[in-house]
Amino acid sequence: MKVAHVRERNAPAGTPWRLAVARDAQAGRWLDLEEARQGLVVEDPRRVHNSALFRQPVTTLDDHLARGMRVEALAEIVDGYAAAGEDDEAILPITDLRFGPPILRPPSLRDFYAFERHVKTMWERRGGTVPEAWYRLPIFYFGNVSEIRGPGDPVWLPQGSEELDYELEVGALVDTPAIDLEPDRADEAIGGYLILNDWSARDLQREETTVRLGPAKGKDFATTIGPWLVTPDELADARAGEAYALQMTAYVNGLETSHGAWSSAQFSFGEMLARASADVHLRAGDLIGSGTVGTGCLLEVKDEVLKRYLQPGDTVTLAIERLGTLTTPIVERPSGGTARGARPS
The tens digit of pLDDT for each residue in 235-278 reads: 999 999 889 999 999 999 999 999 999 999 999 999 999 999 99
Residue 1 has pLDDT above 50, yes or no: yes
Out of 19-28, 106-115, 132-141, 177-186, pick the least confident.
Answer: 19-28
User: For the domain 109-342, what is the CATH superfamily, name and number?
Assistant: Fumarylacetoacetase-like, C-terminal domain (3.90.850.10)
Helix (H, G, I), strand (E, B) or coil at 61: helix
Contact 40, 47 (CB under 8 A): yes
Number of helices (H), then strands (E), belonging to the chain: the values are: 8, 22
Closest Cα to residue 321, out of 235, 225, 233? 235
Under DSSP, the state recorded for 344 is -
Residue 344 has pLDDT above 50, yes or no: no
Binning the chain into helix, strand and coil, the percentages to the nearest 5 are 30, 30, 45
Contact 69, 76 (CB under 8 A): no
Under DSSP, the state recorded for 318 is E
**Confidence (pLDDT) at 342:** 45
Q: What pTM, to 2 d.p., does this model score? A: 0.95
The model's confidence at residue 123, banded by pLDDT at 50, 70 and 90, is: confident
Closest Cα to residue 273, out of 156, 158, 169, 191? 191
Main-chain dihedrals φ then ψ at residue 70, nearest 5 degrees: -90, 165
The model's confidence at residue 301, banded by pLDDT at 50, 70 and 90, is: very high
**Confidence (pLDDT) at 343:** 47
Average pLDDT over residues 78-102: 91
Q: How far apart are CA 174 and CA 106, in angstroms?
A: 10
Closest Cα to residue 99, out of 14, 198, 191, 225? 225
Helix (H, G, I), strand (E, B) or coil at 78: helix
The model's confidence at residue 341, banded by pLDDT at 50, 70 and 90, is: very low
Residue 215 has pLDDT above 90, yes or no: no
Residues 6+ apart with CB under 8 A from 286: 106, 107, 108, 109, 110, 173, 174
Helix (H, G, I), strand (E, B) or coil at 39: helix
The model's confidence at residue 111, banded by pLDDT at 50, 70 and 90, is: very high
Number of C-beta neighbours around residue 66 at 10 A: 12
Residue 165 has pLDDT above 70, yes or no: yes
Average pLDDT over residues 15-22: 97
Q: How far apart are CA 252 and CA 166, in angstroms?
A: 10
Residue-range domain boundaries for the chain: 2-98, 109-342
**Confidence (pLDDT) at 337:** 52
Percent of the chain scoring above 90 in pLDDT: 88
Helix (H, G, I), strand (E, B) or coil at 125: helix
**Confidence (pLDDT) at 340:** 45
Strand partners, 26: none
Average pLDDT over residues 286-299: 98
Closest Cα to residue 289, out of 220, 197, 216? 197
- pLDDT, tens digit (0-9, with 9 covering 90-100), for 150-164: 999 999 999 999 999
211 or 19: which leads in pLDDT? 19
Out of 5-14, 114-123, 174-183, 208-217, pick the least confident.
Answer: 208-217
Please give the mean pLDDT across all residues of the chain: 94
Q: How far apart are CA 125 and CA 102, in angstroms?
A: 35
**H or E element at residue 197:** strand 190-198
**Confidence (pLDDT) at 83:** 81
**Confidence (pLDDT) at 336:** 63
